[in-house]
Amino acid sequence: MPNLLAERLRPKSLEEFIGQSHLVGTDAPLRKLLEAGKIASLILWGPPGSGKTTLARLVAKYVDAEFILFSAVTGGIADVRKIIAKADGLRKDYGRETVLFVDEIHRFNKAQQDAFLPHVEAGTVILIGATTENPSFYVNAPLLSRSRVYRLQEFSDADMALIVERAVTSFPEIQWDVDAVDYIVKSSNGDARSGLNAVELAVELAKTGAGRVTKKVVEDAIQQRASYYDKKGDAHYDTISALVKSLRGGQPDASLHYLARMLKAGEDPLFIARRLLIFAAEDIGNARPNALVLATSCMHAVQMIGMPESTLILAQTTTYLASCPKSIASTVGIGAAMSDVDLENLSPIPLHLRNAATKLMASFDYGKDHVRYPWLEEKQSGKKVTQEYMPDNLRGRRYYEPDWE
């Protein structure tokens, strides 16, 4: 079923646009540009259903330009050439600008994105790219430098309530329970498109019934809460970053929250287990050595058991790691040691630390005066054994300094 509701309710002006006040509110940067009738190429970066397409259409309207919608998923370079030819003709024959809206521009590879550059520079098109992914990683640097990047946020619950209310009132023949409307607002998770889809589906179900939308009708329409999570995109990295930072901050509740987000979104449980194992060594270390043992067991158990039972194993390990004392002494120590290996002129390994595998080697003082078991020698003689282990140029250098109580 085509989503006619979203098109019918699409804002026709900035006054009708709900949310994104940091961009289109009073004295906001994008609003100032539009009201001045001047616009440059833009990159609109934000999650699904945050109004990127609507804003692009408003840009074209405010600058009185032709609007061409192009999807990087279904289109190719040949289609781009046709669009450019059309835009060039409009500009030469009628003096009319063209706004080329490239949806999901991150789907284009760097070579394909290069195809836009000469036409953006020549002013043949005003390019507006929409992406759910960080443009720093997915948009060509030359194209990025010629565009203004605007970050869109998920709609707040207050904004979603206004959007859903606008949709609900467009069906005056349908009765709505208050808790049904509230459920749509909450389950949409800041995604306006998801909320409008839910309203439209609930209306279709209500028409086959008593003409009333209850919470049960909405639950049947939605089935599953909207959640944006791309296992290869920003959400993947942002969520695991939030989990690790929560573990580091000793917050088991927040850690469980981000673990739940990933598991609900279908994240690979082995990926999570690997991150927990790395965290145990990197951030807990010898402050609680058993953390590494538990994290290793967790990873093996996840491999053997699979989902959904691995949820419990991951949750147990997550809360344990969050609650452990933390130490980065080993992490800092190996980093400093490797830095010295890279930067210092390394003195030879002291002869007394080298193994005298032959009589000839022993004649060159390999292993000479080395005390193999210094703690035993000290116990038997009652005297402190002084023995140097560092190369000559690094004598006295310390790498490992325990940092826990």
Task: Sketch the domain layout of the chain as residue ranges.
Answer: 20-151, 157-222, 234-323
Q: Element (H or E) spanning 67, and its range?
A: strand 66-71
Q: Collapsing DSSP states into helix, strand and coil, what is residue 124?
A: coil
Are 20-151 and 157-222 equal in CATH topology? Answer: no
Region 20-151: CATH code = 3.40.50.300
pLDDT at residue 388, as a whole number: 81
How far separated are the first and last CA of the chain, in Å rounded?
63
Biggest CA–CA distance in the chain, Å, is: 103
Closest CA to 113 of 133, 141, 74, 86: 141
- Residue 225, pLDDT score: 55
Class of domain 234-323 as given by CATH: mainly alpha
Which pairing describes strands 126-131 and 42-45: parallel, antiparallel, or unpaired? parallel
pLDDT given at position 2: 43
CA triplet 104, 46, 318: central angle to 5 degrees? 110
Q: Whole-prediction pTM value?
A: 0.66
Taking domain 157-222, whether its CATH number is 3.30.565.60 is answered by: no
Residue 92: what pLDDT? 86
C-alpha span between 294 and 394 (Å, rounded): 36
Contact call for residues 403 and 327 (beta carbons, < 8 A): yes
Q: Pick out the chain residues at pLDDT < 70.
A: 1-3, 224-234, 405
The alpha-helical segments, DSSP class H, found in 63-130 are 77-94, 110-114, 117-121
